[in-house]
Amino acid sequence: MIIRIQNLFPVVMLSGAFSLLSAALFVSMDAVDVAFTEAAVGAGIATVLYLSAISLTGAIEKPPSGSRAIPLLVMTGLAAMLLYGTADMPAYGDANAPAHIHLMPEYITGTRTQIGIPNIVSSILASYRGFDTLGETGVIFTAGAGVLLLLRRGRPRRELANQGGNE
């Protein structure tokens, strides 16, 4: 449904609703931390940012130029590859999945003996994989700095140019 709409406002609303739905999905998979993030970022802040981007650029999608066959082919190929990839994934909740048997038991016992906090997710994110999280925070910082560099100065350039022409 989302891909057939040309007006971008309903598209933003629908993707926000989709985000909220996937947050509910994460909750039902017991991934509450991810659900938190998805609900706050995907359904909340991203929707607001999309809306402000729309109000800056315009809400109607331009009709596509050129042939649609090549993008369709690429996307079909990509989808086929991804579907092929999922065939090898371990079943959901499989206790013998590689992700569960390699380092996870160490983390689970270590969280109790070495770190002493009940939330294993926090102990992995902040302590065992502190370097990762440092990098992630850096990514967020860099993204913010990039937006600041591009958009900080008051009004868009087009408007300034128009003003110059009127004088």
Partner 1 sequence: MKHHLILLMAAKLMIPPILLFALYVQFHGDYGPGGGFQAGVIFASAFILYGLVFGLDELRRVAPLSAVTKLMAAGWGLYIGVGYAGVATGGMFLDYGRLSSDPIAGQHTGIFLVELGVGMAVASTMLAIYQCFAAHQSRELTDDEW
Residue number, 41 or 104, with CB nearest to partner 1: 41
Determine the residue type at 69. Answer: A
Q: Cα–Cα distance between 112 and 117 in angstroms, integer?
A: 7
Q: What b-and-e string marks burial along 66-81, b requiring 16 or more CB atoms within 10 Å of the CB?
A: eeeeeeeeeeeeeeee
* β-bridge partners, 144: none
* β-bridge partners, 58: none
Alpha-carbon torsion angle 35, 37, 40, 45, nearest 10? -140
Residue number, 73 or 132, with CB nearest to partner 1: 132
Report if residue 143 touches partner 1, rule: CB under 8 A.
yes
CB atoms within 10 A of CB 97: 14
Report if residue 156 touches partner 1, rule: CB under 8 A.
yes
Closest separation between CB of residue 15 and partner 1, Å? 16
Residue number, 86 or 113, with CB nearest to partner 1: 113
Closest separation between CB of residue 57 and partner 1, Å? 10
Closest separation between CB of residue 66 and partner 1, Å? 30
Cβ–Cβ < 8 Å for 20, 43: yes
Binding residues for partner 1 (CB under 8 A): 9, 32-33, 36-37, 40-41, 44-45, 48-49, 52-53, 55-56, 114-119, 121-123, 125-127, 130-131, 133-134, 136-138, 140-141, 143-145, 147-148, 150-152, 154-156, 159
